[in-house]
Amino acid sequence: WTEVSPKGDKVVYQALGKLWIKDLAGGAPRRLTRQTGHDEYYPTWSRDGKSIAYTTWSDADYGSVRVVSASGGEGKVITAQPGHYLEPAFSPDGKTVVYRAVTDGYLPPAIWGRNTGLFAVPSRGGASVKINKDGLQPQFGKASDRVYFMTSDDDDKRAFKSSRLDGSDVRTHLLSEFAAEYALSPDESFVAWT
């Protein structure tokens, strides 16, 4: 989970359960957060490079979605209840974080894992709104009111879709039998895939 900052001058990554940040010009990495009570995953930058959203996990307390200043400090919990959360993504205006909630009841218990799918939450915290039940890898283009995501259809094809943050106006943009991941450019001019 390595992410380069929008300006291309820093990198944030996860190692041994904690988030680290490093100047790409040189110098030693440093811990981004100050806590030790949970593991940290899926760091992602806001478009202005001032904030980083990430998810956490603790076997005792379950998971959360948090936001921390790119200069470091304590991460602020923005989700209202514990869960198993993955893949946070900031909207271009920085006001919303979209994330994926999963059951993942194989090793950890499935408590707090019944309501799965993509959700939108204000980046300052608050109530989450469900976008859909089966999207993954949420991402934004140039607009803050439309989220892009992947799904698998009945023929095992990988679809690249988008919808409004309330789940309405779903559009299918690409469909592939072999694509594993899609990535949209911030200006929506290009889509890359593996």
pLDDT tens-digit map of 143-168: 999 999 999 766 778 999 999 999 99
Give pLDDT, residue 46: 98
Provide the residue type at 114 as one letter.
Answer: R
Asked whether the predicted pLDDT for residue 140 surpasses 70, the reply is yes
Cβ atoms within 10 Å of 135's Cβ, excluding its own: 24
Rg of the chain, C-alpha, whole Å? 16
Strands (E), the chain: 3-4, 10-15, 18-23, 30-31, 39-45, 51-58, 62-69, 76-77, 85-90, 96-101, 117-122, 129-132, 136-140, 146-152, 158-164, 171-176, 182-184, 191-193
Cβ atoms within 10 Å of 85's Cβ, excluding its own: 27
Of all residues in the chain, the percent with pLDDT exceeding 70 is 93
Give pLDDT, residue 109: 57
CB 21 within 8 A of CB 29: yes
Q: What is the mean pLDDT of residues 97-117?
A: 74
C-alpha span between 44 and 23 (Å, rounded): 16
Alpha carbon separation from 123 to 65, 141, 178 (Å, rounded): 10, 18, 34
If we measure between CA atoms, which residue out of 168, 102, 177, 86 comes closest to residue 134? 102
CB 161 within 8 A of CB 150: yes
C-alpha span between 173 and 93 (Å, rounded): 23
If we measure between CA atoms, which residue out of 44, 78, 46, 85 comes closest to residue 63? 85
pTM for the model stands at 0.91
CB 146 within 8 A of CB 182: no
Asked whether the predicted pLDDT for residue 120 surpasses 70, the reply is yes
The confidence band for 171, taking pLDDT boundaries of 50, 70 and 90, is very high
Sign of the Cα torsion 146, 127, 114, 57 reads: positive
